[in-house]
Amino acid sequence: MIDHEATPAPAFPWAGLLALATAGFLTILTEALPAGLLPQISADLGVSQGMAGQLVTLYAIGSLVAAIPLMAATRSWRRRTLLLLAIGGFLVVNLITALSSSYTLTLVARFGAGVFAGLVWALLASHAGRMVPRAMQGKAIAVAMVGTPLALSIGIPGGTLLGDLVGWRTAFAIMSALSVLLMVWIRYQLPDFAGRTAGERTRMTAVLMLPGLRSVLAVTLLFVLAHNILYTYIAPWLTSVRSVQRVDVVLLVFGAAALLGIWGVGLLVDRWLRALVLASMAAFGISALVLALLGQVPSAVLPAVTLWGLAFGGTATLFQTASARTAGASGDIAQSMIVTVWNLGIAGGGLAGAFLLQTWGAQTFAWTVLALMAAALAIVAKARQHGFQ
């Protein structure tokens, strides 16, 4: 009998995947940093905190309107080149944000940042999936998405603290400098892939009509909408319930829990996708119920925020994995749709949160989140055959 030598398993591409994770880190940090600095930004630009919150909204609108058309227009482009252009765009718009004294110009810059973010998010999961064999795709996507909880657990609280010490403008200038370093890392550590040829492309409408994809998109929208109503206006909510907890501490606890959540999802997503989605929706709903009933109790806030962070941490991986499985070869288009509804949720959360804050007060946030999670759970429960199998 001939003893054949076993073929060695391919090395896991940690360096390239961590470069993608850093791109996600920069994207989330650029998106959410104003949430921790609303009082400072509003005072500096001479607008209300509700108007300052629209810096998050305009960012989301940029991604919302740009992700699908830009991905469609650039499907033939080399993937690494496109990612480098997007990171270079962050360099420019964050620098404009740091230097601008005009609220209008700052909004324009934030819209531009959202456009580039739409490209980044549409590229991350599909690029990560192409770097590894199919059996390792869930793990690769989880690693590429780890920048999200790291930004929430370390970046945003750190950026909030830095903004308090040296000013919010300096925080945005530092992010521009980080963009330069990231571009060098991507250029030399990330493998490049060709775009799709005309014959390989599928019509957008045909992808949208795939069984289960609309359920995945709807649940993504509801979850992100709920999350951003509470997260964007966490500072006013803490004030409304007279909480003794500091904003930076709450954001740190949330981010640390989100990091643990994405780690757990990365281990289990390939086998327990549906169960993890159901658990995440339920956990966020329970957290909202605790905050609604016991938000004024100091000992209840941080445990509820921890549960919220655990629920949120792995959702990007869950929704992108679900869309990839549902769309198959049209995964890149499905990812751009996920980006679009994700940012629709961010924009809607910013607008809905501002409306609730001005009309009925921040105490309504948690009850709104609970209602949205009930709707999301109902959709997941029905999407047993397709979408969340």
Q: Residue type at 353?
A: G
Q: Rounded distance, CA 140 to CA 270, Å?
A: 11
Residue 36 burial class via C-beta count within 10 angstroms: exposed 0-12, middle 13-18, buried 19 and up: buried
For residue 170, how far is the Cα from the chain centroid? 23
Other Cβ atoms less than 10 A from the Cβ of 6: the count is 6
Residue 85 burial class via C-beta count within 10 angstroms: exposed 0-12, middle 13-18, buried 19 and up: middle
Per-residue pLDDT at 265: 86
What is the dihedral angle through the alpha carbons of 303, 147, 370, 291, rounded to the nearest 10 degrees? 30
Any idea how long the chain is? 389
Q: How far is CA 271 from CA 138, 220, 312, 321, in A?
A: 10, 20, 19, 11
What fold does the segment set 14-196+205-382 form as a domain? Growth Hormone; Chain: A; (1.20.1250)
What six digits make up the tokens of 225? 């909408």
Whole-prediction pTM value?
0.76
CB 110 within 8 A of CB 55: yes
pLDDT in tens, the chain (389 residues): 444 444 455 688 999 999 999 999 998 888 878 877 888 888 899 888 888 888 888 887 888 788 888 887 888 888 899 999 999 999 999 999 999 989 999 999 999 999 998 889 888 888 888 898 877 777 788 888 888 767 766 777 777 788 888 888 998 999 899 999 999 999 999 999 887 765 555 677 777 777 878 888 999 999 999 999 998 888 888 888 877 788 878 888 888 888 888 888 888 887 888 899 999 999 999 999 999 998 888 888 999 999 999 999 888 888 888 887 787 766 677 777 888 888 788 778 888 988 998 888 888 899 999 999 999 999 998 887 777 87
